[in-house]
Amino acid sequence: MNANEMTRVVLIEGKAYQRHADGTLTPLTDLTDDASLDALSSRDIDARAHADPDATPMSDEAWLNASLDKPDKMPVGIKLDRDVVEWFKAQGGRGYQTRINAVLRKYMEANRKAS
């Protein structure tokens, strides 16, 4: 991906993934140097943020024209085995439906490529 290409990022269970045009997801690596960031003062962090050309603040007009791109979700009724649902819930409770969706997406992607 070149620097001018827009990246669509989705969060699944707090982890960032790049969504490609074909719907596949690639995990993104966190390149944050937390130790160096922790050593900076708030003033230093603000100065670096203001100096970053990619971090220019949005104007009031830009915020007024901003839009939120929500995923195209569709509610469905599905019967799943109790132990399957309990297992997904045990992996972190809240967000278990998102995890089930992620597993189904991986299955779909694997089988779409195979056909």
Q: Please, how many CA atoms are within 13 Å of residue 58, restricted to the half-sphere of its CB? A: 7
Is the pLDDT reported for residue 24 higher than 90?
no
- Within 1-115, strands assigned E span 8-12, 15-19, 25-27
Going by the DSSP 8-state scheme, the letter that residue 28 receives in this structure is P
Distance CA 24, CA 105 (A): 8
pTM of the model as a whole: 0.42
SS3 70: coil
CB 33 within 8 A of CB 39: no
Q: What is the pLDDT of residue 81?
A: 96
Considering 30-39, 75-84, 93-102, the range whose residues carry the highest mean pLDDT is 75-84
